[in-house]
Structure 1
Amino acid sequence: MDCEDCRGPVIQHILDATCIIDGTFVTLKLIRKSRHLYKIEIGQLFSTEPLASDPDNHCVPIYDVLHVPDDEDQAVIVMPLLRPFTDPCFDTCGEVVECFRQLFVGLQFIHKQHVAHCDCMDLNIMMDATCLFFHPFHPQDIDMRRDYKGEAKSLTHTQCPPKYFYIDFGISCCYDANNTAPLEEPIWGGNKTVPKFQNLDQPRNPFLTDVYYLGNMIRNEFLLTKHRFEFMAPLVGDMVQEDLTKRPTMDEVITRFDEILKQLSSWKLQSRVVDKEDGNIIGLYSLDPPYRLYCQERTGFLASV
């Protein structure tokens, strides 16, 4: 169990691979086209120029589509090797704010192409962490090095800023450019707290459902579990309004987010991310860098910790 080749796929329809042309580590995902009608089409839309090189594009690129012999319903999509966007964990508020910025811009970009993701929950947000690691991490055991000769050591999100991606367009929908407020019967996504699921017979605007998904992710992953993100509460509260007509569009979200950024000091951005479940000692150790230094000079306590 201590050997690299003992680690099989965690998810049976997802496998890692290496591109023989340039040695790039990639992910292979087996899908059924009849179940995910537009997954390949929408994924390739964002992977084709001029959209592919747009800096606001945070959709996972599709490098290739492999068709399964003798089975027209199956295909294998080739994507970059990614990892959960919260692992390695965030050290500072500024790192989290940059994550928010990329996700807001990325979802706005998707909506500008008249596509609704329809399932942009936490599990469908990942990051390219290639630059963060001194040695490549193992694709099936991401805490270990690829060669299994020790733990995978990483830099921080500040030292080497990663790029965050939306993945899994399996239930996404593309609409006519003239239809700015489409109505769609609710589609079951991963997050069952979406208010639209309380009334499955009533068509809803899927773009505003995306706004809820993203706002709910920020609420659950940061506002409810971490200190120091109270500045996001008013915006997130509006994003998760039960009445979707009261939710802001992504254009409005970004406008308000830009105003929030102007009010954040460098001290705030450099402050440490502290879990609400952390005790006093861990919380003290996670103080803002300038204040930690002050405490250390005054008491010598942090040096011993």
Structure 2
Amino acid sequence: MAYIYTQFQDTREWHDLISEWKDAPQALEHVLSYNGNIDHDIFLGKRTTQEIFWVQLQPFLYSRGYNLRPRYHPDWLPSWRNHTKPIQTLDEFEDSLAHIGTFMDATRISDGSKVVIKIVQTRRKEIPIAQCLSSPEAMSDPRNHTIPIFDILPLPNDDSEALMIMPQVLHFDPPGLPFTRLGEFHEAVKQYIEGLEFMHQHRISHRDACYFNLMMDISKVIPKGLHFMRPETHDGVTFGVEWKKRWSVRPVKYYYIDFGLSEHYPLDAPYETITGLNGQDRTVPEHLLTSPYDPFKADVYQLGNVILHVVETYDGLDSFLPLGTAMTRTNPDDRPSPSEALKMLKRFNWWVLRRRVRQKEFSLQEQPRLRFLGGDR
């Protein structure tokens, strides 16, 4: 215990903690006797450099209508500090969940909705493309299935980065929340293809229309919402999530996210072809060539590969194989346009859409955990 004390006693923060929490060393020693792996800094209320960045932004964000979790308020003190019973773990304290990465969750003060804040570089094209896709005119088009942008806030005293604020959404095929009817997957595929049709009509190529950039709105599927840092819970503490089958609450909204690689080609000029690797999918045939290629047709391939992947992990989705196969043809000119792909989807009748499907056992083990908007730049 002496080592632990010495490790922190020279820092101003440690002295502040000791003056405010005189039993901190004894409390930490007690917790370590039950759980030797507990993070000392987190227990003592020490926030990382990344977290301090958000702590400093909290007053600014609050003034703009967004409230961070209590942990990121400047005057925060650990809630377990005044706990009347001996502490064995911090799992029961929501404010022990430390943040890592360039995304942060918050609450929109006006309506209490959960949002995600992403740090974006102002020199990149992501901001103008996202603004274009979230304009009132663009949002009025029912084919627009790109994530709506609530706000873009320039960082105070830093014009190189800005904060992009979006609704909190969930990956479209998370473990524990599988598709249960063919029509549920049909609804998702239809919206994603419509989204490509919409973007391409506006001369925007996503260039990363891949598995981890496809999300869904959970407001009807999981009415209580999910905790951003611990999505196996509603509140960050109590494990277990109540959810409804998508078929019972349809229609469910699906979204594209992440326009960090996207390109916008002016309507009055021919779009330029590009070269090189793009996005998560490294199997796009054009990416292996040194010659320029059509980015719109590469988008079709990427989404087609997602369809094939999901079909492979479910029993009962084989009827989507012709669509996925057509969208992933080696020759880009042989792939259907989004409009043609939508026509292929019209062949599914009502009785087919009602069929039950089942996720294969191996995919339940291999899939990533519930995933929110997240990840590092």
Q: Work out whether the TM-score is over 0.5.
A: yes
Could you say which residue in structure 2 is the equivalent of 1:149? 238
Could you say which residue in structure 1 is the equivalent of 2:199? 110
Tell me how far apart the structure 2 counterparts of residues 65 and 57 of structure 1 sit (CA, whole Å).
19
Could you say which residue in structure 1 is the equivalent of 2:258? 168
Shift of 1:137: 1.4
**Residues 59-78 of structure 1, C-alpha deviations (whole Å, 9 max, x = no match):** 00111011112221111100
Tell me how far apart the structure 2 counterparts of residues 89 and 130 of structure 1 sit (CA, whole Å).
16
Could you say which residue in structure 1 is the equivalent of 2:112? 23
Could you say which residue in structure 2 is the equivalent of 1:128? 217
Q: Which amino acid aligns with 2:284?
A: V
Shift of 1:24: 1.6
Tell me how far apart the structure 2 counterparts of residues 191 and 75 of structure 1 sit (CA, whole Å).
28
Could you say which residue in structure 2 is the equivalent of 1:70? 157
Computing the radius of gyration from Cα coordinates, the structure with the larger value is 2
Q: Which amino acid aligns with 2:230?
A: D
Q: Secondary structure at the match of 1:8?
A: coil
Q: Which amino acid aligns with 1:96?
A: F
Q: Does 1:249 align with 2:343?
A: no
Tell me how far apart the structure 1 counterparts of residues 333 and 237 of structure 2 sit (CA, whole Å).
51
- Choose the corresponding residue for 2:297, options 197, 201, 208: 208
Q: Does 1:57 align with 2:144?
A: yes
Q: Secondary structure at the match of 2:153?
A: strand
Shift of 1:147: 5.5
Q: Secondary structure at the match of 2:192?
A: helix
Q: Does 1:3 align with 2:98?
A: no
Could you say which residue in structure 2 is the equivalent of 1:285? none
Q: Does 1:12 align with 2:101?
A: yes
1:26–1:79 Cα contact (<8 Å) kept: yes
Could you say which residue in structure 2 is the equivalent of 1:232? 320
Tell me how far apart the structure 2 counterparts of residues 134 and 241 of structure 1 sit (CA, whole Å).
40
Structure 2: state its 5+ residue gaps.
1-90, 363-377
Per the alignment, do residues 195 and 156 of structure 1 end up closer, same or farther by CA in structure 2, a change over 3 Å counting? same
Tell me how far apart the structure 2 counterparts of residues 232 and 242 of structure 1 sit (CA, whole Å).
18
What number of residue pairs does the alignment pair up? 269
Could you say which residue in structure 2 is the equivalent of 1:283? none
Tell me how far apart the structure 2 counterparts of residues 135 and 211 of structure 1 sit (CA, whole Å).
35
Could you say which residue in structure 2 is the equivalent of 1:39? 126
Tell me how far apart the structure 2 counterparts of residues 179 and 159 of structure 1 sit (CA, whole Å).
46
Tell me how far apart the structure 1 counterparts of residues 263 and 271 of structure 2 sit (CA, whole Å).
13
Q: Does 1:270 align with 2:354?
A: yes
Q: Which amino acid aligns with 1:228?
A: G
**Residues 146-177 of structure 1, C-alpha deviations (whole Å, 9 max, x = no match):** 26334220111112232000000111011132
Q: CA RMSD in A?
A: 1.8
